[in-house]
Amino acid sequence: MKKYIRGLGVALVATMAIGVSNNAHAEKIRIAGNFAVDHSSSKAMEIFKSELASLTGGKLTADIFPAMQLGGAKENVDQVRSGAIMGTWLGISYLSRTVPELEAVSLPFAFANREQAFKVIDSKVGDMLNKKLDEKGFTTLGYMELGSRNVTNNKRPLKTMADFKGLKIRMQPNETHLASFRAIGASPTPMGIKEVYSAMQQGVLDGQENPFSIIATKRFNEVQKYLSDSGHFFDFIVVAASKNKFAKLSSDHQDAVRKAMSKAIAWQRSKAAEEDTASLNALIASGMEFHAISNDVRAQLKSATSGVVGELKKKIGSDIIDAVLKELN
């Protein structure tokens, strides 16, 4: 009996040693974002996490931190650049100050629908942007849909171009976005997303602009009355990794990361249209007053912002912008 117990003990120790050895060879990456847990992009990252573990047999796993758990978009970008985390998923505009060429896909009133937007980002344009990101220390893992951005406000319904005049609207820190709203007479203010709710609640801002899904998940309907479908920009979510940290992964693990992310992005893109419609319906049901922008007013807004394209060419060059316009035409 004593020999059996002693033998069992040796077996257990050996098993534990094997377990420690296996764990010692496992790698873990961390990816952070500022989207709410119930946003489709955050759900997609959970799909990525599951798929990555499956593809690598648990040898490479991911910890996912949505909802600003590791800070806002700016902090996440800084963490990726410093190597504190492997990657982040965020609205493309938050990287435009580091990589200004990204503004080429922020042209006002350029995209008629999401299919056209994906056609552009999945073309030579995406390759050109990926190269610019690479030059600044990022490895691009793909682009999800953030969606068409729409204005909300507490002042008045947006029925004419004149209704935009003087509105204090929160914008992302993207110079093309800001210039576009100045061109239509609004008063745009760049601001981090986490301050927006209280700023509108206190009347510091008249409104903001975001896809319907973000307006809903951020509960902006609680502090905003009027909702439009201005669709002035189509926005992408870029998944960006630290170039240095990604390069340190084995080639097999790099392939696994790309395959897992590709599956997650495909799911998110398919889900985004459904999420957009459901969010709009939920916002209206919550009491927001919805007003659709007429084709005539949209044409006026596009005309008023046409000069922004020329100014952007002076800033970042014409190559990428011309490639965008070629795809659009």
pLDDT at 325: 97
pLDDT at 62: 98
> Pairing state of beta strands 234-242 and 60-65?
unpaired
Mean pLDDT of 115-138: 98
Contact indicator for 221, 284 with CB cutoff of 8 Å: no
Mean pLDDT of 125-129: 98
C-beta atoms surrounding 297 within 10 Å? 19
pLDDT at 24: 56
Separation CA 174–CA 243 (nearest Å): 23
- Greater confidence, 9 or 295? 295
pLDDT over 90 percentage in the chain: 92
In sign, the C-alpha dihedral spanning 156, 281, 72, 222 is positive
> Pairing state of beta strands 226-228 and 150-153?
antiparallel
pLDDT at 25: 73
Mean pLDDT of 196-207: 98
Model-level pTM? Answer: 0.91
Question: How far is CA 291 from each of CA 110, 184, 228, rounded to the nearest angstrom?
Answer: 21, 18, 5
CATH classification number, 28-328, choose in 3.40.50.970, 3.10.50.40, 3.30.1600.10, 3.40.190.170 = 3.40.190.170
Separation CA 168–CA 188 (nearest Å): 6
- Greater confidence, 115 or 20? 115
pLDDT digits (tens, 9 = 90+) for 266-275: 999 999 999 9
Q: Domain residue spans in the chain?
A: 28-328
In sign, the C-alpha dihedral spanning 211, 212, 213, 218 is positive
Mean pLDDT of 69-87: 97
pLDDT digits (tens, 9 = 90+) for 282-316: 999 999 999 999 999 999 999 999 999 999 999 99
Average pLDDT, the chain: 93
pLDDT at 12: 44
pLDDT at 21: 38
pLDDT digits (tens, 9 = 90+) for 223-279: 999 999 999 999 999 999 999 999 999 999 999 999 999 999 999 999 999 999 999
The pLDDT of residue 171 is above 50: yes
- Greater confidence, 19 or 178? 178
